[in-house]
Chains A and B, each alone.
Chain A
């Protein structure tokens, strides 16, 4: 009995933080696996419309993005919708070249699977989007995806 008393007499033992790095590393690996590197800096506003009937894009490596929207720095670039490819503003005429470079960057077997994801702001007029689509048709990039935000599906009555 005396032994128990002895242990109680001291201060509270400090909580060991030895496993802290392990926990943090675990978190780190979790984030490394589940996330992807941010590739471009957005120069256009990109509030995408909501939709319910969405499909996930499976292979992220096989997707090339086209951003369309009004420029964020509207004082510098105006408010007219612009097309952003990679990190700069481009015009419709540059899309063909963009698609060719995207194709070149992929292994030959993957090229037919290349999807173009259109990330378009909801306030953009269809005129620009139609032009882009026509251009994509010309270069044979038929697989497209209208990127949207997911809205909760309507409940069935």
Chain B
């Protein structure tokens, strides 16, 4: 005959789970790591020739040790950098002093004039990291805005909402061509 088993008191269950909850709240972090993704170039090959790049295809951005910008031979300002970089990369009026374009056949886009412009970024050892990130951010923003514009024009949606194939096509049409100069010790190393 089944005997009546006394019920286990579950009143402390809430306390136990609270304890666990607080433990996890304290020991874990929630932040998703985000940032500006870059690909470093492989180490320079001393035997290889330096590729010739025409002056019109280079957009020089220099940041000095007191965080001032020097863009294309003139003092620049961070607030104009995005617009200037965009104009350089897009070259809407096919100006002579802005980069050449090369027609390439890209899936989904057909023949598209791909800009051959390269943004060359050079910083001093004394540049603050904050400034460096601001510059990187503005240059990335310029490329992203151009991609967004092309995407809206061709497919009618934002670049971030495109599927993988279309994303690849746009990335091919507007490459992220930011190159960092080999570091040199200039302006007082510290």
Q: Does A20 sit at the interface, judged by CB under 8 A?
A: yes
Is the Cβ of B33 less than 8 Å from the Cβ of A57?
A: yes
Is the Cβ of A120 less than 8 Å from the Cβ of B129?
A: yes
Task: Write out, one digit per residue, whether chain B residues 122-144 have a CB within 8 A of any chain A CB (1) or not (0).
Answer: 01111111101110110011001
Is the Cβ of A143 less than 8 Å from the Cβ of B39?
A: yes
Is the Cβ of A126 less than 8 Å from the Cβ of B21?
A: no
Is the Cβ of B28 less than 8 Å from the Cβ of A57?
A: no
Interface secondary structure of B, over-half rule: mixed
Q: Which residues of B contact A147 (CB under 8 A)?
A: 33-35
B4 → A minimal CB distance (Å): 20
Is the Cβ of B38 less than 8 Å from the Cβ of A144?
A: yes
Q: How many residues of A contact B (CB 8 A)?
A: 53
Q: Does A9 sit at the interface, judged by CB under 8 A?
A: no
Q: Does A136 sit at the interface, judged by CB under 8 A?
A: yes
Partner of A25, one of B17, B35, B129: B17
Is the Cβ of B14 less than 8 Å from the Cβ of A137?
A: no
Q: Can you name 7 A-B residue pairings with CB atoms under 8 Å? A: A20-B13, A31-B21, A52-B137, A53-B144, A55-B36, A125-B128, A146-B38
Chain A contact residues, CB within 8 Å of chain B:
17-18, 20-21, 24-25, 27-28, 31-32, 34-38, 49, 51-57, 60, 63, 115, 117-118, 120-127, 129-130, 133-134, 136-138, 140-148, 150
Chain B contact residues, CB within 8 Å of chain A:
10, 13-14, 16-18, 20-21, 24-25, 27-30, 32-43, 123-130, 132-134, 136-137, 140-141, 144, 183, 189-190
With contacts A53-B140, A55-B36, A134-B183 known, what are 18 further pairs, Cβ within 8 A? A20-B14, A21-B13, A21-B14, A35-B28, A36-B28, A37-B28, A51-B133, A53-B36, A54-B35, A57-B34, A57-B35, A57-B37, A117-B33, A120-B129, A126-B123, A127-B189, A146-B38, A148-B137
